[in-house]
Amino acid sequence: MNARSESERGVVKNRTTVERTSDREVVVTRAINGPARIVFEAFTRAELFKRWWVPKSIGMTLLSCEIDARVGGKYRLEFDVGAAEPAAFFGTYVEVQPSSRLVWTNDEAGEGGSVTTVTFEDKGDKTLVVLREKYPSKEALDTAGTGAAEAMVETFDQLDELLVALGESVGR
Amino acid sequence: MVQYVTARLDTSFAALSDATRRGVLEQLGRADASITDLAEKFHMTLTGMKKHVGVLEQAGLVTTEKIGRVRTCQLGPRRLEAETAWLERYRQRWDERFDELDKVVEELTRMEMSDERKKRK
């Protein structure tokens, strides 16, 4: 019984969609295999959170992860980025509704930081996760040192690598 | 042909090898800006910024238009590609994260189910 449901889960790869809903908001949607209650725990308990939050492709090692998921509680993530000082990402939980909704601020960029809103909705044996990253103003998004900006930088880094590879392939 | 490609690559290399110019591209990805705006944002002289924009323009990454006394810069013909690449990169980042989340949640769900079965026994 257990083996069958496992193989069924293995077949279905849930899709992640991203939409730029305005010049200061990005929305990510994804179904997760499990009840909202458990998905919420994976977002709010440090020992679970650190098992999935840092993508391998990011090239940064998580040094520490503290989460106090209560209204007004703080979180702090520190990464080894190969520099003398670790890179820290931190903020405050603004709304915490168990199994249904989380809102936190991203304060490492100062006042221009984004606000992340995540909703969890049970859909059969899955949970629909909708994550919004919203900036206080267009200017804030312009200057913020956020995940989005990071991804942008990474895109350019990749473009650089691609150009290097192309350069080599034409016999430079 | 190879010479042509090499020459184009040289231009692109040169354009992207500089952190300020990459910053300018990122900035223009958010909104058009005048050379004066850009010079202020990157704390440099007007002449310095003009030079950077010129390099980006040559590589086809930026186009400029002079209206009155103001020269406005925007992303060049590669704009759409860049936006699509940005979104796709962003999507991949989250996809990778959520794949890992799926594993964690599935494991916890399984553990919980077997715990319940044990309790029932």
Nearest chain A residue (CA) to B96: A55
> What is the residue type of A156?
F
Strand, coil or helix: A28: strand
| Residues in Cβ contact with A68 at an 8 Å cutoff, skipping those fewer than 6 apart | A74, A75, A93
| Residue A166 confidence class, pLDDT cut points 50, 70, 90 | low
Tokens of A147: 């995940």
Q: What's the fold here for domain B2-75? A: Arc Repressor Mutant, subunit A (1.10.10)
Whether B102 and A14 lie within 8 Å, measured CB to CB: yes
Residues facing residue A103 across a β-bridge = A95, A117
State the Rg of chain A over Cα.
18
**pLDDT mean across residues, chain A:** 79
Q: Is B112 on the interface with A (CB under 8 A)?
A: yes
Of B27, B105, B113, the CB nearest to A142: B27
With tokens 């679970």, the residue in question is A48
Q: CA angle at residue A16 from A10 to A21, to 5 degrees?
A: 165
A36-85 pLDDT per residue, tens: 999 999 999 999 999 999 877 777 789 999 999 999 999 999 988 777 88
Domain boundaries, chain A: 11-169
Of B13, B31, B93, the CB nearest to A167: B13
B49-65 pLDDT per residue, tens: 999 999 998 888 899 99
In chain B, what residues touch A14 (CB-CB under 8 Å)? 98, 102
Q: In CATH, what class is A11-169?
A: alpha beta
- How many whole angstroms separate alpha carbon A88 and alpha carbon A43? 18
pTM beyond 0.80, yes or no: no
Q: Is A46 on the interface with B (CB under 8 A)?
A: no
With tokens 């090239």, the residue in question is A59
Asked if the interface predicted TM-score (ipTM) of this complex is over 0.90, the answer is no
Q: What are phi and psi of A33, to 5 degrees?
A: -80, 90
Residue B28 parent element (H or E): helix B19-30
Domain boundaries, chain B: 2-75, 78-121
